[in-house]
Structure 1
Amino acid sequence: MGEGPRHIGTAERRDRLALRQRLAGPSRAESPEEVAGSLVALHGTDPATVYLAVGARLADAAKTVGDTERALYEDGTLVRMHGMRHTVFVFPTELTAVVHASTGRTVAARERATLLRNMAEAGAPDAAWLTEVEESALAALARRGQATAAELARDEPRLKEQFVYAAGKSYEGVHTVSTRLLKVLGVEGKVVRGRPLGSWTSGQFRWAPAPEHPALDPAEAQAELLRRWLAACGPATEEDLKWWTGWRVTEVRRALAAIGAETVSLDEGTGYVVAGDAGPVAGPPEPWAALLPALDPTAMGRRQRDWYLAPELRPMLFDRSGNVGPTVWWNGRVIGGWAQRADGEIVWRVPAGEGIGRDAESAIAAEAERLASWVGTTRVTPRFRTPLERELSA
C-alpha cells in the first residue's frame, strides 16, 4: 500500500508564511515590486494598507513611501485595479491581463448590466447614450493622462447627469453617471486608479487609462493566477482558494487540475500546493515579529485561519463585516493588535494569557519603533475600525 499525501503541520505552515511572505527578517524584500510579487496582490481598499503592508516587509522601511509611489505612479510596475471578489488590489503590472481575464470579465458584465437596468428603471438615457458618454470620457482621459471625475465632467458634461436609484425603497438614492460609469470601466479593465489628490493615505484618486494587455483565455488565466498564489501562499484548502478568488468551486477545481497541483494533508483536511512544492521548507526562520496593517493580505488571504489566528481573538481584531484590523504577529501567529494614537505613538497590546515572553516583547517593540520611524507625522486611521484598534487609539 502506497503512502498517502505528505502532512504539512502548523509549524511548517508558519515557517512557509514567514519566508515566502517576506515577514521574517532575512526574507525581507528590497522593493515594493518584490513584496507585491511575493503576495500576488496587496489589498487596496484602504490606500494606507498598501504602504503599511509594503513597509512591514521591506529591508529598508525608510524607502516605503517614495519607492511605492515610484512603482505605482512613475514606473508603472504596480497598478491599482479591481480584482478578486470585486475588491480593489495592487498587482504587479504584468498580472493585469491575468486578473482581468480570470476574475474581471464576469464581474464587469454583471456591473454593466446592473447600471443599464438601474438607469432604465429611473427613465435615464439608454445604452447607446451611455456608450457615447463612455467613449467621450475615455478620449478625454487619454488626452489628460490622469484626471478626477470632476475634471472629466468638464470635458464631458453628460457625466454630471444624475438618476434616482431604487425609487420608493428604503435605500433610495441619487446616483451620478460619472460615479457608476467609472466603476464599471474599472472592473472592465479600461481604467485604473491613478495618483491620489492628497498624501499616500488619501482615498481621493485620479483615474488613469489601464495598461494595455492582451486578451487571455479565462480558463488559462485562472490557472495562472491560482498557480502564482499557491506558490506564494500555499498550502491552501479548496475553501481557501474559492474564498480568495471568488470563483465557483468548479472553476477552482479546473484550475487545480490544469496546473497539476499536488495534494497534501493539513490539520483541517486536504490541501494543495504547486507541483514539486510538497517537500519540507529549508528550515525555520529566526524568531520574528511583525505589525501588519488592517486588511493585510497575510491575515485576510485565507478562509480558514485557526492555524495562525486563535478564534478567541477574532471579536477584538475584526469588524462586523469580517475585515481584519491591525495585527501583531509573533513567529507565525497573530497574538494581538496595534494602533496609532493622535500624537503619532504606535501602541500595541497582547491580551492577557498569551504569555509571550521578553524576547517577543522586545521584538514587537522594535517593530513598533521601526514603523513609527518611517510613518513619521502622518496619521493613519483604518477605514474599517475594529474594537481593539478603537480602544488603543483613544
Structure 2
Amino acid sequence: MKAALDLTVEQATVTRFVANGLLTPFADPVTAAAHLAGVQAQILPAAGLALWNRVPAFTATQLDHLLYHERALVRLWGQRGTLHLYAATDWPLIYAAQAGRSTYWEQEALRDGWDPAEYEAFIERAARWLAEHETMGRSDLRRLAPDIDDRHLSGWGGIFAILTRRGLACHAAPSGGEARMAHRLRWRPDLPWDPPSTEEANAELMRRYIAVFGPVSFADMTAWRGRTQAEIKRWLARLGDEVVQVTVGGRPAWWLQSCLERLPALPEPGDLPPRLLGRFDPLLLGTRDRSWLIDAAVYKHVWRPAGHIEATILLQGRIAGTWRYDWRGPALIVTLRPFAPLSAATRAQLAALAADVAAHFAAPLGECRWEE
C-alpha cells in the first residue's frame, strides 16, 4: 500500500460532497444506489429524499414505480443490519457479502435451545410459504403458523430478515398498513443469480465505499460496515495497490488511487450549493468521526437518542441546521431551524429547496417556516 499526500479537512469535506452526487447529480436513481453501495431505507420517504438530492427532479412517485413496478431497486437488510435500497442487479452482491453469517434471530433461537435441525426445518418451511404466495406479511405467517413466537414476527426483521440474508426475500409494496415480502424467484425471476465469493463481494463493497466517502479511517470503515477491523484489513488487502494511505489533517486515512485525480478539480467549500438532506442521509452515515461535517456544540441536535439522525441543512458542505416536513391536508409544511442567523440570499435559496421538497412529494408547499 503506497504512501501518498496530506489532505486538509476542507479537501476531504469537498471530495465527499462531490463523490456523493451532491454537486454533479447521478444520471438516474439506480446508478446512484449502486454508486453509494445502498441508500439507508429504514424510513422509506427519507431514502426517497436522499435520491432526490442526487438525481434531477426525482419524485416519490418514481421511487414507488422503481421499487414495486419496474423493480429496478430492491429493499433489503444490508450493512449494519439496516434496510437499504440497492440496485436490483446488486442483489447477488449484497447476498454474497453476508453469506454464512447468522442473524440476530437465528442466534437467539439457538441460545433459547432450539434444536438446530428443527430450526432449519422451520426456516425452510417459511421459505416454501413465501414461494407459494405472491407476497406475504406477518399476519399470513401468524395464520400459517399459529404457534410462531413474536420474536420471529419482529418488525425489525424476524423470519423475513433470515430469508433476506439467505438471498430469498425482499420487501414488496405494503398493503393495508402491513409490510409485505416477496420471494426473489417471484419478484425478479429474470434476475441473473451468480453471486461472487464472500471475500470478493466484501472487497467490492469496500471499493465503492472508499470511492464515495474516502479518505476514511479504519474506525470509519468498521462503523459503516458494522464489521471488525480484521475483516476490513483483509478486504483492503484484496484491493492491493488500488488503495493508498493518505493523511487528513495529519491523521492516517485510506483512499483509492483513482480518486487522487479529483484533487486539482475540487471546488472551494464556498462554491458548494446548499442542500436539504433528509433523515439518515448517506453523507451522515459514511464516517464515524463527524467533526468534518458538524461543530461539536450542535452535534446532539442532529445525532439524537436511539440512533435517530435528523434532516439537516447543509451550507458550504457543513451542517448548519435541521429541518422537518409535516402534512397539513394535501399541503406540505417545511420548518427550517438554522443554528445561526442566515443572510437573506441564503434564506431564499433554502426556501426554494423547500418548495422542491414539496414537488418531490407532488404536494403544494403550504408554508415555509423559520425557527431561529
Q: TM-score range by the shorter chain?
A: 0.7 to 0.9
Q: Is the CA contact 1:300–1:324 (under 8 Å) kept in the aligned structure 2? A: no
Aligned residue type for 1:283: L
Aligned residue type for 1:139: R
Matched, 1:73 2:56: no
Which of residues 49, 53, 56 is equivalent to 2:50?
Answer: 53
**What residue ranges of structure 1 are gaps of 5+ in the alignment?**
121-125, 164-173, 380-390
SS at match of 2:48: helix
Structure 1 residues 272, 175: CA separation in 2 closer, same or farther (over 3 Å shift)? closer
Q: Which residue of 2 aligns with 1:21?
A: 20
**What residue ranges of structure 2 are gaps of 5+ in the alignment?**
none
Q: Which residue of 1 aligns with 2:227?
A: 247
When structure 1 is superposed on structure 2, of 326-335 and 187-196 the one drifting more is 187-196
Measured in 1, the distance between the counterparts of 2:112 and 2:63 equals 38
TM-score norm. by structure 2 comes to: 0.85
- Taking only the aligned residue pairs, the percentage that are identical comes to 21
Matched, 1:300 2:285: yes
Which of residues 256, 273, 280 is equivalent to 1:288?
Answer: 273
Offset, 1:298: 0.8
Q: Is the CA contact 1:115–1:180 (under 8 Å) kept in the aligned structure 2? A: no
Q: Deviations over 1:320-367 (max 9, x none)?
A: 134311100012111100012443211101113xx5434332222211
Measured in 2, the distance between the counterparts of 1:335 and 1:224 equals 34
Q: Which residue of 1 aligns with 2:91?
A: 96
Offset, 1:130: 4.0
SS at match of 1:6: strand
Matches within 5 A, 1:136-285: 136-154=125-143, 157-158=144-145, 160-163=146-149, 174-175=150-151, 180-197=158-175, 204-210=178-184, 213-259=193-239, 260=241, 261-267=243-249, 269-279=251-261, 280-284=263-267
Structure 1 residues 306, 144: CA separation in 2 closer, same or farther (over 3 Å shift)? same
Measured in 2, the distance between the counterparts of 1:59 and 1:183 equals 33
Q: Is the CA contact 2:105–2:151 (under 8 Å) kept in the aligned structure 1? A: no
Structure 1 residues 153, 268: CA separation in 2 closer, same or farther (over 3 Å shift)? farther
Q: Which residue of 2 aligns with 1:312?
A: 297
Q: Which residue of 2 aligns with 1:87?
A: 82
Q: Write 1 or 2 for the structure with the bigger share of strand.
A: 2
Offset, 1:370: 0.8
Structure 1 residues 104, 368: CA separation in 2 closer, same or farther (over 3 Å shift)? farther
Offset, 1:281: 4.7
Measured in 2, the distance between the counterparts of 1:331 and 1:83 equals 31
TM-score norm. by structure 1 comes to: 0.80
Matched, 1:368 2:364: no
Aligned residue type for 2:56: A
Runs of 4+ in 1 over 6 A off after TM superposition: none
Measured in 1, the distance between the counterparts of 2:278 and 2:13 equals 19
Structure 1 residues 10, 176: CA separation in 2 closer, same or farther (over 3 Å shift)? closer
Aligned residues: 351
Matches within 5 A, 1:319-330: 319-330=304-315
Q: Is the CA contact 1:82–1:187 (under 8 Å) kept in the aligned structure 2? A: yes
Measured in 1, the distance between the counterparts of 2:273 and 2:57 equals 16
SS at match of 1:7: strand
Structure 1 residues 184, 4: CA separation in 2 closer, same or farther (over 3 Å shift)? closer
Q: Is the CA contact 1:36–1:42 (under 8 Å) kept in the aligned structure 2? A: yes
Offset, 1:153: 4.7
When structure 1 is superposed on structure 2, of 286-295 and 144-153 the one drifting more is 144-153
Structure 1 residues 363, 138: CA separation in 2 closer, same or farther (over 3 Å shift)? same
Measured in 2, the distance between the counterparts of 1:253 and 1:135 equals 35
Offset, 1:40: 1.6
Q: Is the CA contact 2:20–2:212 (under 8 Å) kept in the aligned structure 1? A: yes
Which of residues 28, 31, 34 is equivalent to 2:31?
Answer: 34
